[in-house]
Chain A
Amino acid sequence: MAAVLQAAALLMGSQTDIKRFRLRSALRSAPVRNEGFFVVRTNGRLSTTSGVMPRRAKLIPNAVAAKADTTTTASSADSKPGHELLLFEALREGLEEEMERDPRVCVIGEDVGHYGGSYKVTKGLATKFGDLRVLDTPIAENSFTGMGIGASMTGLRPVIEGMNMGFLLLAFNQISNNCGMLHYTSGGQFTIPVVIRGPGGVGRQLGAEHSQRLESYFQSIPGLQMVACSTPCNAKGLMKAAIRSDNPVVLFEHVLLYNLKERIPDEDYVLCLEEAEMVRPGEHVTILTYSRMRYHVMQAAKALINKGYDPEVIDIRSLKPFDLCTIGNSIKKTHRVLIVEECMRTGGIGASLRAAIIDNFWDYLDAPIMCLSSQDVPTPYAGTLEEWTVVQPAQIVAAVEQLCK
C-alpha cells in the first residue's frame, strides 16, 4: 500500500506529506475577481459520499457533468437549454470570454489575426481586441513560442497557436527548456502561464508531416500539463481552465473534430484540467481513450452493446497528469482495461498509462492491459493505408471480445 501511495503521490507530483488532509478552495485564479463560475466533477455532485466538503464551495452541480454522463441519451432535464455550436466555435467562445475577463490574455500565432485563424478559432477576435492582442506572427514557430514564454514571464497570459501541432516540433526547445523548466530553475520566481494549442492527429490524407501526434513527445517534459479536448463542451471548458491555470498547458485539439456540433450550457463554466470524463458507465471492461478515438470507441461500443457487452468508456482528457482516481475506480469495478489511442505505439500515452495502471492497480486486474495504438509508421497519403495506421472500431470490438474471453 505504501508503494501505491508513494507512486500516486509521485505521479501527482506532491511533495507534501501524503497522509495529510488538506481542503482547498476551488476558486484559484487570484488576480481576477471571481464571478460565480463552478468547477465540475465527473459525478456531477459535491463529494459528500467521501465526507469531504471543499471550503467556500460555490459548486453548482448540474448541467455540464450531467450532460457528459448522458451524452448517449437526450439532454438531461436538469440542465438549462443551452446553445448549439461547433467545436471550433466553442473554443472561440471560451477564448473570447477569457480575453474579456482578463486583459492580460492575448493570442500569438500564424494567421490568427486578420485571417481569423486557419481553423477559424480566432475569427473576429482581432477586430474586437486589436492587433497587438491577437498577434499575427511570421512563420517562425521557435521564436514566437519563445516570445510567448518571455511575455508570460512579465505577467501576460499568451495563448500560442501552432497552425498544426506538428509545426511545434520546431519549438521543442522552447517548450521543453524554457516553458517547462523555468519555474523550477528560477526557484519559483517566474511563472509561465502559457497555453500552447493547435490541431494535431491524423486527418484526411494530409500526409506524414501534417498528421503528427505530439502528445508522446511532450509527455515527459516536467512542469508541463497536457489536456486533449474531444467535444465542444469540454473544448470550451478546458480552454478556459487552461488559460486560468498558472502552469504551462498544452491543449491538443484534433483536425477532424472541429466541426462537431453539440449543445453547450449558456452559463459560464470551467472544467477541471486534471479530471477524466466518464462517457459511458459500464461493468465489463474499462476503455480508456482520448480525442478522436473517443468516437471510434463509441461506435465500437454500440456494436459491443448489441453483442451483450457492457463497456465503460472513459475519456481521459488529462494526458499529464493522469486522473488515476477516476481510472482506478473504474478498474476496481471492471478489472479489465483496454486503452485506445491515436498516438504511436512506441513511447506513447498508452505506454505511460499502462505503466501507471500496473504500478497502482495491479491487484485489481484480471487480464493483461490491452493497448490499441497507431502503427509505428509515418502516416501514408493513400486513403486505405491511412485507415490502417489508425485504430478502427472493428479492431476495438475484436480487442474487447478477446479481453473478456
Chain B
Amino acid sequence: MAAASALIKFKFPFRFLLLRRFSESPAEPVTMETSLPFSAHKCDPPPRSVTTSPSELLSFFRNMTVMRRMELAADSLYKAKLVRGFCHLYDGQEAVAVGMEAAITRRDAIITAYRDHCIYVARGGSPFEVFAELMGRRAGCSKGKGGSMHLYKKDASFYGGHGIVGAHAPLGCGIALGQKYSKEGTVTFMIYGDGAANQGQLYESLNMAALWDLPVVLVCENNHYGMGTAEWRASKNPAYYKRADYVPGLKVDGMDVLAVKQACKFAKEHVLQNGPIVLEMDTYRYHGHSMSDPGSTYRTRDEITGVRQDRDPIERVRKLILSLELASPSELKDIEKEVRKETDEAIAKAKESPMPDPSELFTNVYVQSYGAEAFGPDRKEVKADLP
C-alpha cells in the first residue's frame, strides 16, 4: 500500500493523467451505482445510479470523520464524568446525517429525537458548541440548559433534540404544516428510530400528514435495536417502510451515504407533489443505546465488529475515494489527523468555558410577556417585569 502510494507520488504526471480520466476538476460529476437496490412500497424507487463529485465525496469523508471523532470524544468525556446524565451516541450512523444534508437546503427542516449530536453538526453547528452543551457550559447551543438531548439550531432549521421517544413526531408534522401554510416549498425531515415506530402518536400524525398532504418525510433510522430490545422482539412487522400502509415507503441502505443522498433527494421531490413518504434507513450503531448501556448484552461483539468491517460508512467512502484516486491514502490520513486536532482543540476550549450564570436559571422560562408590570404587595419596593 505504501509502495503503491510512493509510486503514485513519484509518478506525478502519471497520477495526474489518471485523475484526468475521472475528473478534470473537483466539481466534475462522477457517476456510480449504489451497492444495494432500493426496496419500494407503493411507489417507484429512485434509480440506483447516483451522481456526485470529488469535492463532495471528500466533504462526505471529512464530515463523517468529524462526527465519528466527536462521538468518540463524547464517550471519553462521559467516562471522565465531564458529561453527565444521558448521552446517546451516533457513531456508525453518520451516513444518514451527512447524506441527508447533501440532498437538502438549510431552509428545509430537520427534527430528530435524542441521538442528535451529529445532526446538529451536519446542520452547520460546530463540535465546540456540542461539547460545551454536553458539559453544561454557557457557550453551548442551548446555553447549557438543554443538555445532550436538547440541541437546537433555529437559523439552520434544526428543530432538535427531543427526549421523549416519539413525542417529536407530531411536532415534525406541525412544522410541515407551518411550511405548507407559508407556501415556502420546503420540506421537513422527521427522524425517528425503530423503537419509536411503535408509538401511536407517530401513526396519528402520519394520518393527519397524509390527509392534508403535508410536506413531511418520515425517516426511520432503523439500527435494529430499540434501546435494549431487538426489532424482531418489539415489532410484529419490522418492515418499517411498509408500516405506513397507505403512505409510500422506501428502504435505503443507511450505511451508504450516496444511497441516502439519492433517497432524500427523491423523497423531497415526491413530498412536495404528493404528500408524506417514509424512508427506512438500514443502519447500525456501534455504541449501546446510551452511555449506561454497554451494548453487548443484547447483541454479540462479533456482530458489531462484523458490521464495522463490512459496512462502516467512513470506510466505504474511503475505499471509494481511493479507488477513484481522488486523494491518496496519506492525504486522507492528513484529513483525519487534522480532524482529530480540531476536535481536541474544541474539547479543550469547551472545558475551559464558563458555567452559566445563576441568573440564567430564570431566563427563558417565559418569553417577554404581554407588557405586564408586576408589583410586590405594596407597589413600592418591588416592581418586576414578568420575564
B82 at the interface (CB under 8 A from A): no
The reply to whether B177 and A178 contact each other, CB–CB distance below 8 Å, is no
Given contacts A15-B361, A18-B384, contact A191 B367 (CB under 8 A): yes
Complex Cα spacing A4 to B359, Å: 19
How many residues on the A side are at the interface (Cβ–Cβ under 8 A)? 82
The reply to whether A223 and B366 contact each other, CB–CB distance below 8 Å, is yes
B71 to chain A, nearest CB (A): 21
Q: Which of A9, A150, A222 contacts B365 (CB 8 A)?
A: A222
The reply to whether A185 and B150 contact each other, CB–CB distance below 8 Å, is yes
Complex Cα spacing A28 to B371, Å: 6
8 additional A-B residue pairs with CB within 8 Å, beyond A147-B174, A186-B152, A191-B367 = A8-B382, A135-B212, A138-B207, A154-B175, A154-B182, A156-B181, A185-B160, A324-B377
The reply to whether A146 and B376 contact each other, CB–CB distance below 8 Å, is no
Given contacts A144-B170, A178-B171, A189-B154, contact A22 B385 (CB under 8 A): yes
A79 at the interface (CB under 8 A from B): no
Q: How many A-B residue pairs have CB under 8 A?
A: 246
Mark A358-377 against chain B: 1 for CB-CB distance below 8 A, else 0: 00110000000000000000
Q: Which residues of B contact A247 (CB under 8 A)?
A: 366-367, 369
Chain B CB count within 10 A is highest, among A26, A138, A151, for A151
How many residues on the B side are at the interface (Cβ–Cβ under 8 A)? 73
Q: Which of B163, B169, B384 contacts A12 (CB 8 A)?
A: B384
Given contacts A9-B384, A173-B164, A186-B160, contact A244 B370 (CB under 8 A): yes
The reply to whether B142 and A187 contact each other, CB–CB distance below 8 Å, is yes
Complex Cα spacing A328 to B378, Å: 8
Q: Which A positions have Cβ atoms within 8 angstroms of B?
A: 1, 4-5, 8-9, 12-16, 18-19, 21-22, 24-29, 39, 47, 50, 52, 54, 106, 132, 135, 137-138, 140, 142-156, 173-174, 177-178, 182-191, 193, 222-223, 225, 241, 244-247, 270, 272-275, 321, 324-325, 328-329, 332, 360-361
Mark B139-165 against chain A: 1 for CB-CB distance below 8 A, else 0: 011111111001011100001111110
A110 to chain B, nearest CB (A): 12
The reply to whether A174 and B363 contact each other, CB–CB distance below 8 Å, is no
Q: Which residues of A contact B302 (CB under 8 A)?
A: none
Q: Which residues of A contact B211 (CB under 8 A)?
A: 138
Q: Which residues of B contact A329 (CB under 8 A)?
A: 377, 379
The reply to whether A137 and B208 contact each other, CB–CB distance below 8 Å, is yes
Complex Cα spacing A155 to B181, Å: 10
B173 at the interface (CB under 8 A from A): yes
